[in-house]
């Protein structure tokens, strides 16, 4: 009798329809799926990868190793300035906010630092004003007379 119940339980656990979608509590992103994905790693240290989702979110990035000027340390901790290998990255992302606003962000990261670009990024205000002009100093000899 016990064997029958175990077998019945296994049959129920295994017999799941192929169209079954699990219900996730409070998961508002359950229907978003990956529509394309690529990942390429090369022997020279370069790589590129990308993905796209069903909600039109995309991201792609590539990196290349590059020789740059930088600080190196020997096994004794002594620093020297010379060529080092570093990564340069380029990439972009695209997404749509819950309010329907479209965003595109692109960036470069290299020896000049991280440089993001996007219409939604804040820009520092430009102040246009004249600098005050300092008065001309005319030296005096202490008795009230100008020295020329």
pLDDT per residue over 5-15, tens digit each?
A: 433 344 444 45
What pLDDT is stored for residue 2 in this prediction?
39
Q: What confidence score (pLDDT) does residue 98 get? A: 84
pTM > 0.85? no
Share of the chain above pLDDT 70, in %: 70
Q: Which of 70-79, 80-89, 103-112 has the highest mean pLDDT?
A: 103-112
Q: What is the pLDDT of residue 11?
A: 40
What pLDDT is recorded for position 143?
Answer: 66
Cα-Cα-Cα-Cα dihedral sign, residues 126, 113, 111, 118: negative
Report how far apart, in Å, the C-alpha atoms of 37 and of each of 57, 58, 70, 96, 98 are: 12, 10, 35, 19, 23
Give the model confidence (pLDDT) of 121-143 as tens digits: 998 888 888 877 777 766 666 66
d(CA 109, CA 23): 41
Question: What residues form DSSP beta bridges with 70?
Answer: 82
For residue range 99-124, list pLDDT tens digits in order: 889 999 999 998 888 999 999 999 88
Q: Is the distance from CB of 93 to CB of 121 less than 8 angstroms? A: no
Greater pLDDT, 57 or 22: 57
């Amino acid at each position: 009798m016990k064997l029958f119940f175990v077998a019945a339980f296994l049959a129920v656990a295994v017999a799941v329809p192929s169209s079954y979608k699990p219900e996730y509590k409070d998961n508002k992103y359950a229907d978003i799926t990956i529509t394309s994905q690529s990942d390429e790693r090369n022997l020279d240290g370069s790589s590129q990868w990308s993905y796209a989702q069903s909600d039109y979110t995309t991201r792609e990035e590539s990196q290349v190793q590059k020789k740059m000027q930088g600080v190196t340390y020997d096994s004794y901790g002594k620093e020297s300035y010379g060529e080092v290998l570093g990564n340069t990255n380029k990439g972009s992302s695209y997404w749509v906010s819950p309010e329907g606003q479209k965003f595109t962000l692109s960036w470069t990261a290299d020896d000049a630092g991280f440089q993001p670009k996007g219409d939604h990024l804040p820009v520092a205000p430009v102040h246009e004003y004249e600098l005050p002009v300092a008065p001309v100093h005319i030296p005096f000899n202490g008795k009230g007379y100008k020295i020329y």
